[in-house]
Structure 1
Amino acid sequence: MMEHSFKLAIQYAANAESAAFPTRSQFRRWVKLALEQEAEIVIRIVEKSEGRALNHDYRGKNYATNVLTFVYDDTDPLSGDIVLCAEVIENEARQQHKALMAHYAHLTVHGLLHLQGYDHVSDDEATIMEKKEIHILTRLGFEDPYIASCEALTLG
């Protein structure tokens, strides 16, 4: 697999009261494996209020979601933002019995794939995207996030 150069800025705009955030080096490692082209990316970790405002303003949904992706330029270099909502991610990890860093890795990879044009609107698109996520996360040393969430649902 060819390595692509990238510029990455991390913005920690949320308080880490109950859990830790991924480090810059963790984010760099995750981005490095998920990128298929040169890119300039900002990853921003936000509070629930900012996540809700962004989701409302850009998607018309009045709740905070785990990850939002904003593409500014889809040519070389690719340019965009990935917004991760700390409280939502922490709650999901706890509810799904997942390690917090594994869930952050999954959602970062998920956002990066959206940034590169992948989507999950149709079943076929979802299958392609999930297979890519699983492949990347396995290479990073994480379990299949979809098996873990299915197990959590049947246990809960």
Structure 2
Amino acid sequence: MSIDITIEDDRWEALGLSALCDRACAAALDHLGLDLDECEISLLACDDDRIAVLNADFRAKPVPTNVLSWPEADLAAEIAGETPGAPEPDIMGEITLGDIAIAWETCEREAAEQGKRMEDHVTHLIVHGLLHLLGYDHVRDADATLMEGLETTILGELGLDDPYKDLDGP
């Protein structure tokens, strides 16, 4: 598995983001039956100012958010609640999944508000972002149920609590 991490905010380094990312992505990909050695992901670890610009540029929402994802391919299922399509390897046998960006201040604030360890919340958001790269979404209710169920299962396999317990969703 190749994870290219760009750290623009040093607070991420102190958190041990690389190890968290490796662990979260390996668990998610393994759970979904994807070959870890074939998959490639890029992660931008930034601050709220940077993610607000990205959110404005790509979603027309000029505000910070916790995580953004840019899938390499559109794998979304046409029918709500169905499993997205599987990513295909390129001619070299590699599967480029896409890019994820995560913002420090929003993650830190949410973790505090939810009474969670920052490491646990970030692990959840990395799994969440990776599932978006794989075609999962939470816009339609049936898709949200599928995606949130996967997140809960994957995080449970990592020994983490259900991230949606006592919450209204991501």
Do these two structures clear the TM 0.5 threshold for a shared fold by scoring above it? Answer: yes
Contact 2:25–2:130 (CA under 8 A) maintained in structure 1: yes
How many angstroms apart in 2 are the aligned matches of 1:129 and 1:22? 26
Residue 56 of structure 1 corresponds to which residue in structure 2?
Answer: 56
| Alignment length (residue pairs) | 144
Of 48-57 and 31-40, more deviation after overlay is shown by 31-40
Where 2:15 maps in the other structure, the secondary structure is: coil
The within-5 A match list for 1:16-95 is 16=11, 20-35=14-29, 36=32, 37=34, 38-73=38-73, 74-76=87-89, 77-95=95-113
How many angstroms apart in 2 are the aligned matches of 1:138 and 1:66? 21
Contact 1:137–1:144 (CA under 8 A) maintained in structure 2: yes
Residue 99 of structure 1 corresponds to which residue in structure 2?
Answer: 117
How many percent of aligned residue pairs carry the same amino acid? 38
Where 1:138 maps in the other structure, the secondary structure is: helix
How many angstroms apart in 1 are the aligned matches of 2:4 and 2:20? 13
1:50 to partner: Cα distance: 0.7
Contact 1:69–1:83 (CA under 8 A) maintained in structure 2: yes
Residue 12 of structure 1 corresponds to which residue in structure 2?
Answer: 7
Where 2:159 maps in the other structure, the secondary structure is: coil
Q: Which structure's relative contact order is higher, taking Cα pairs within 8 Å and 6+ residues apart?
A: 2
RMSD (Å), alpha carbons:
1.8
Of 117-126 and 8-17, more deviation after overlay is shown by 8-17
Residue 139 of structure 2 corresponds to which residue in structure 1?
Answer: 121
Where 2:147 maps in the other structure, the secondary structure is: helix
Where 2:70 maps in the other structure, the secondary structure is: strand
How many angstroms apart in 2 are the aligned matches of 1:148 and 1:15? 32
Where 1:144 maps in the other structure, the secondary structure is: coil
Using the size of structure 1 for normalisation, the TM-score is: 0.85
Where 1:147 maps in the other structure, the secondary structure is: coil
Contact 2:72–2:133 (CA under 8 A) maintained in structure 1: no
Output one character per residue of 1:36-88: Cα deviation in whole Å (capped at 9) or x when no partner. Answer: 33421011110111100000000000101000001124532133111000110
How many angstroms apart in 1 are the aligned matches of 2:8 and 2:88? 28
